[in-house]
Amino acid sequence: MLGNISGLDKEAVLLAKKELDSKMKPQGSLGILEKIAIQMAGIYGYPVKQIEKKCHIVASADNGVIEEGISSCPIEYTKIVSEAMLNKIAAIGILTKRLGVEFNLVDIGIASSIPREYPNLYRKNVKKGTNNFYKEPAMSREECLKAIKVGMDLIEEKGDGIVVFSNGEMGIGNTSTSSAVLYSFTKKDIDSIVGRGGGLSDSGLIKKKKIIVESCEKYNTFDMDPIDVLAHVGGLDIACMVGMYLGCVKYRKLMLVDGFISAVGALVAYKIEPLVKDFILATHMSEEPGMKIVLDEIGKQAFLNMEMRLGEGTGAVLTYPMLECAIDIINTMKKPTEVYDLFSK
């Protein structure tokens, strides 16, 4: 699937670290900014070049498990909000417009089609919403693999030059699917994994946890490979994001990880190919309780905590200016001798 791949360029990493350590500052004192610059060097090469294009991709899909009454929003919400994003009146559309980030949306599994055409809408629908995983597997393995390939192909198509990607999702019920995937991988305490999503009541939250536990136990997802876990209790939006992460490894691009659902997609991809860890940057700490567990599983830390839990990639895109600042630091900041030569006379 990925061919001949490798992790970070170790020589470029060392050169970037050496350059940052030589600047007029205590070593490591710019923290995350320095780590970003070093990771960028490892992916794109040294010297670090400025970002040529910032590209955000939202994967939209519906989830049949909402038939069980474990979502606070109706199914048509996925289609309506997706179109609002395309018209830049939903949160992610507004943020990407403000930040100069190219926005794209892929219909990977919306139950009913978006009726209008948009130049940045990709119609790649694999299935008109997944099955209700409480009653039957969400999708076939073949459908899951097809959605993964769409994600990989998008990275290839959009990846010319020094491109940094971010992703997000839209799909009613997808905190249930992502929680089920995480539970399958970790079997951690269900209360530490499952949150309220879009705002479930207490009784709705109890039911959501029950359905996830019973479904995972019924299929014994704990002993499955990552793709089969995703096919049984996951969603097409997550599968498409998995493909994006794998595509970033294959085509050597940085992917900014958003919140809980985006991070679960990263975890699935990491389970498939551990080198994914080198090509992702965890951005913000979602308010969903399972977020810490996901990041611990991958071995990553998020550096923003903005009390956000919307999804869509809203947290990830906010970090693009920080990436550009990190590159400016390594490329522009002077060394002590240079500063002394300029100002000591």
SS3 303: coil
3 state DSSP class of 96: helix
Q: How far apart are CA 13 and CA 320, in angstroms?
A: 21
Q: Where are the beta strands (DSSP E) in 189-268?
A: 254-257
Centre a 10 Å sphere on the Cβ of residue 112 and count the other Cβ atoms it contains: 13
Residue 220, Cβ density class (10 Å: 0-12 exposed, 13-18 middle, ≥19 buried): exposed
Question: Is 338 one of the catalytic residues?
Answer: no
- Strand 53-61 to 163-170 pairing: parallel
User: What is the rounded end-to-end Cα distance, in angstroms, of the chain?
Assistant: 60
Phi-psi group of 88: left, alpha or beta (phi > 0 → left; psi -120 to 50 → alpha; rest → beta): left
169, 273, 288, 312: the active-site residue: 312
Six-digit token string for 60: 């939209």
Contact 312, 92 (CB under 8 A): yes
Q: Is 102 exposed, middle or buried (0-12, 13-18, 19+ CB in 10 A)?
A: middle
* Rounded distance between C-alpha atoms, residue 287 and residue 304, angstroms: 11
Which of the residues are catalytic? 312
